[in-house]
Amino acid sequence: MQASHLVDVARRIAPAAALAAAAVALTGCVIAPLPPLGAPVAYEGYAPYGPPAPPYEAVGVAPSPLEVWIGGGYIWDGGRYAWQPGRWAAPPRPGAAWVPHRWQQGPRGWQRQGGHWR
For the chain, the domains span 35-117
Q: Nearest to residue 46, comparing CAs of 101, 103, 97?
A: 103
User: 67 falls in which pLDDT band (50, 70, 90)?
Assistant: very high
Contact 98, 115 (CB under 8 A): yes
9 versus 103: the higher-pLDDT residue is 103
User: 11 falls in which pLDDT band (50, 70, 90)?
Assistant: confident
Contact 81, 75 (CB under 8 A): yes
